[in-house]
Amino acid sequence: MKNQKPSRTPLIQGAILLVFGLTLAAQAQFLVIYSQPEPQTTFVGGQVSFYVAADGQAPLNYEWRHEGLAIAGATNSFVTLTNVQLSVAGAYSVAVSNELGGVLSSIATLTVLPVIPVAEALDATHLIWTTYGDAPWIGQTLESYDGTDAARSGSVRETLN
């Protein structure tokens, strides 16, 4: 038994198994967001939705965040905010995870624009303004032709007969 070289086979097999095992573990942990949430802009009282598309070992868990804090009940691949107020403007992101790890999306900024009464926006407070239907008129302060207040209608849908 003298001069017998130690066998390297178990060491080589162990190294291959270690590398192969790490490769499998890396593939199992591979979690990717392939569609990031997009910035949104709306007026006070409006509605917005943020979406994310991710892929990885199921099940995927979602946790939407506003300014880094979890939004209660926002655990889907999308979050919809209704009756938006100035206080919810800011940075939105989503943490996507599974049992093997997680990833955080990029930040999508929500901009909320203030609304003022139509009469004030049109500098005609002595008149009574009535607006109704699917595309009501709103006063706005940030977009106008002459740099002062203005009014605009909501989205108007075309109807073909």
- The predicted-structure confidence for 64-91, as pLDDT tens digits, reads as follows 999 999 999 999 999 999 999 999 999 9
Angle 104-105-106 from CA coordinates, rounded to 5° = 125
Decide if 41 is inside a domain. yes
pLDDT classification of 120: cutoffs 50, 70, 90: confident
Q: What single letter denotes the amino acid at residue 76?
A: N
- The predicted-structure confidence for 8-24, as pLDDT tens digits, reads as follows 333 333 333 344 444 44
Decide if 160 is inside a domain. no
Domain that holds residue 126: 115-153
- pTM, two decimal places: 0.66
Position 117 scores a pLDDT of 79
- The predicted-structure confidence for 34-68, as pLDDT tens digits, reads as follows 999 999 999 888 899 999 999 999 999 999 999 99
What is the distance between the alpha carbons of residues 97 and 101, in angstroms, rounded to a whole number? 6
Q: Are 109 and 62 contained in the same domain?
A: yes
